[in-house]
Amino acid sequence: MSETKSILLSSAMRYGLSLGIYWVIKYLFFILSVSMPFFSFVYWGMSLAVPFIAYFLTKRYRADIGGNISFLHAWQFGVLIYFFAALIVSLMHYVFYRYIADPSLLSNTIQQTLILLKEMKAGEDVINSVSQLQLTPIHMAVQGIFNNVFYGIVLSIPVAAIVCRNNVTGRI
């Protein structure tokens, strides 16, 4: 098994690049959905397809390493492809918030959140914390990386369970 783990990182980078390109295309539909709401459906459809794509990539990786993979190995691969894809799409997030979006978008979002929190009668400590936020394009890009890696950690669990359950070695 140690032989197969030696290619884990390079394979995760390669497959993560393809997933990252998919996420960039998906994010373009998100950007377009602001002016054309139909693209919102395309964006959400592509978002729902991500775990299935991760399954097929993990299954393909399993075939690359000989057809047998442990749960932990499959889970590690899944988390890594989400990580590398998150790095790719974070560039698009940065470009969007820095050059495409209205410069006041982030500050307006915080102001709208404060209004909503006050209407909901949220605690003063929550309102003060939100009012202290100073979001920048780099903050949004890094937050996107953290979000996508978290989703990868969670969504790779069922994918790894399914992929390692269906190992092909030893089957007739």
Residue type, 74: A
Q: Alpha helix (H) ranges present in 34-104? A: 38-64, 71-95
Q: What is the pLDDT of residue 172?
A: 39
Total-model pTM: 0.86
Q: Please report how the helices 38-64 and 137-165 are oriented relative to each other, as an axis angle in degrees rounded to 10.
A: 50
Question: What residue has token string 């997030």?
Answer: 93
pLDDT of the residue at 21: 97
Count CB neighbours of 171 within 10 A: 7
Q: So what's the pLDDT on residue 5?
A: 61
For 62, what's the count of Cα atoms within 13 Å in the CB-facing half-sphere? Answer: 27
Which pLDDT does position 4 carry in this prediction?
58
Instruction: Please give the chain's pLDDT, 172 residues, in tens.
Output: 455 567 899 999 999 999 999 999 999 999 999 889 999 999 999 999 999 999 999 999 999 988 889 999 999 999 999 999 999 999 999 999 999 888 788 888 888 888 888 888 878 888 888 888 888 899 999 999 999 999 999 999 999 999 988 776 544 3
Separation of alpha carbons 168 and 111, rounded Å: 55
Which of 137, 94, 133 is CA-nearest to residue 112?
Answer: 133
pLDDT for 110: 84
